[in-house]
Amino acid sequence: MKSYKIAWLPGDGIGPEVTEEARKAVDAAGAKHEFKIEWVRYPFGAAHYQRTGETLPDSALAEMALCDAMLLGAVGAPSVKPGILERGILLKLRFHFDQYINLRPALTYKGVPCPIPTSGRIDSVVVRENTEDFYMGVGAAAEGGNINTPFEVKRELYKVSGRLSAAFSPGHAAAAQVGILTRPGIERVTRYAFNLAKGRGEKEVTLASKANAVPILYGFLDEETRRVAGEFPDMSLKIQNVDALCCHLARKPDSYGVILCPNLFGDIVSDLLSGLTGGLGLGAGGNIGDKLSMFEPVHGSAPDIAGTGKANPLAAVLCAAMMLAHIGENEGAQTIGQALESYLAESGAKRPVELGGSALCMEVGDAVVKKIG
């Protein structure tokens, strides 16, 4: 029997609740299709940080590197200053393993009410660059009106170092954070997006940009993306300002296929698409790279509903299916996908609380497992 080692980082808030249901679905698919998962659970998140002062140690990264993939719930809690866990765990993982693609499909399902009436099915996918842009971590707050801070950022493709310096007069409080994009960073994600669109039988990729207001950074993005698009002569690149894109998405969400985004816009556009397909509890995602890939819902730790059972675990379940496809267990992935679709189509009043029904997190997970058989 084939066996896989999966790093499992439940994290904070609803993370443990939703990934538990995803794990159950994977194990059920394994029993059906004859593969076995060894789950290696990691405790990192708010409680561990508050107890030990540790976010994510390098020793854990070395262990995780030996796993076949990773399933992550979400990190972040109201009791910890924003950024500490998110940058210290989630972004550290993305950057360390050079997970340069954040793939976030958005699909409508039978039985799921959508906020916008559509003529067809929303079947879109955000290809979000996952290592650059305003996520580089280069920035500083001005002290006494001055910034004079050295920086060094390491990425798989390059290292960038320098000094950020500015003087404000009068010397009031201020802060600056820099967005960075590079040719190799843009090239690899653009090729990925075009190949994905091609595989989906589509002829166009939409780029979410904003060169009108941020011409240095996003003007460069447009030029470089256009150049790479030239490698795909049968296909076209549509560049749209991200503000206009959001308006079009809200009005005609079923008219998009692959949407290529720099990191920050991709974050926002993927939440919008999740909302348009019914809710964050349906938005799955994968952080894909050439080393360890990590599967994680679009949503966060949802502290407002943590512990109430109201969390919809289907995004995490869909992540599990993406993860199985990634490690080569395609039949298991399909079984989970079909089980989820058939549960949603038939669930009626027993649909997840998030979708207006009464089914609590564990009940939703159990219903999917039952469908897996």
Q: How far is the CB of 351 from ligand NAD (least distance, A)?
A: 12
Of the candidate spans 142-150, 156-164, 302-310, 338-346, the one that interacts with ligand NAD by CB under 6 A turns out to be 302-310
Burial of 106 (0-12, 13-18, 19+ CB in 10 A): buried
CA 314 – CA 277 distance, rounded (Å): 13
Furthest-apart CA pair in the chain: how many Å? Answer: 69
Question: End-to-end distance of the chain based on CA atoms, in angstroms?
Answer: 19
Binding mask 267-296 for ligand IPM (x = CB under 6 A): x-----------------------------
30 CB contacts (<8 Å, ≥6 apart)?
Answer: 36, 37, 329, 332
CA 208 – CA 365 distance, rounded (Å): 35
Closest to 106 in 3D by CA, of 80, 126, 89:
126
Residue number, 35 or 265, with CB nearest to ligand NAD = 265
Sign of the C-alpha dihedral computed for residues 12, 105, 243 and 179 taken in this order: positive
Residue number, 107 or 315, with CB nearest to ligand NAD = 315
Alpha helices in the chain (DSSP H): 15-33, 46-52, 58-64, 84-85, 92-96, 183-199, 215-229, 242-251, 263-276, 314-327, 330-347, 361-372
CA 34 – CA 196 distance, rounded (Å): 29
100-105-107 Cα angle (round to 5): 175
Structure tokens at 152: 């060094």
Q: How far is the CB of 158 from ligand NAD (least distance, A)?
A: 25
Antiparallel, parallel or unpaired: β 69-74 and 2-11: parallel
Of the candidate spans 160-168, 184-192, 237-245, 293-301, the one that interacts with ligand NAD by CB under 6 A turns out to be 293-301
Among 77, 90, 147, 280, binds ligand IPM (CB under 6 A): 90
- Contact in structure between 352 and 368 (CB atoms under 8 Å): no
Within positions 136 to 155, which residues make up the interface with ligand NAD, using CB under 6 A?
A: none
Measured from the Cβ of residue 8, the count of other Cβ atoms closer than 10 Å reads: 23
Q: How far is the CB of 101 from ligand IPM (least distance, A)?
A: 13
Q: Does position 299 bind ligand NAD by CB under 6 A? A: yes
Structure tokens at 297: 């819902």
Within positions 311 to 340, which residues make up the interface with ligand NAD, using CB under 6 A?
A: 311-312, 315
- Contact in structure between 202 and 257 (CB atoms under 8 Å): yes
Q: Does position 21 bind ligand IPM by CB under 6 A? A: no
Among 7, 25, 70, 90, binds ligand NAD (CB under 6 A): 90
Q: How far is the CB of 302 from ligand IPM (least distance, A)?
A: 12
Burial of 215 (0-12, 13-18, 19+ CB in 10 A): exposed
Q: How far is the CB of 263 from Mn ion (least distance, A)?
A: 10
Of the candidate spans 42-50, 83-91, 108-116, 322-330, the one that interacts with ligand IPM by CB under 6 A turns out to be 83-91
Residue number, 99 or 347, with CB nearest to ligand IPM = 99
Residue number, 218 or 295, with CB nearest to ligand NAD = 295
Q: Does position 80 bind ligand IPM by CB under 6 A? A: no
Q: Which residue has the tokens 């939409």?
A: 206
Binding mask 344-373 for ligand NAD (x = CB under 6 A): ----------x-------------------
Residue number, 129 or 267, with CB nearest to Mn ion = 267
Among 86, 204, 222, 341, binds ligand IPM (CB under 6 A): 86
Of the candidate spans 156-164, 232-240, 304-312, 335-343, the one that interacts with ligand NAD by CB under 6 A turns out to be 304-312
List contacts with ligand NAD (CB under 6 A): 14, 18, 74-76, 82, 86, 90, 280-281, 296, 299-305, 311-312, 315, 354
List contacts with ligand IPM (CB under 6 A): 76, 86, 90-91, 267, 298, 300
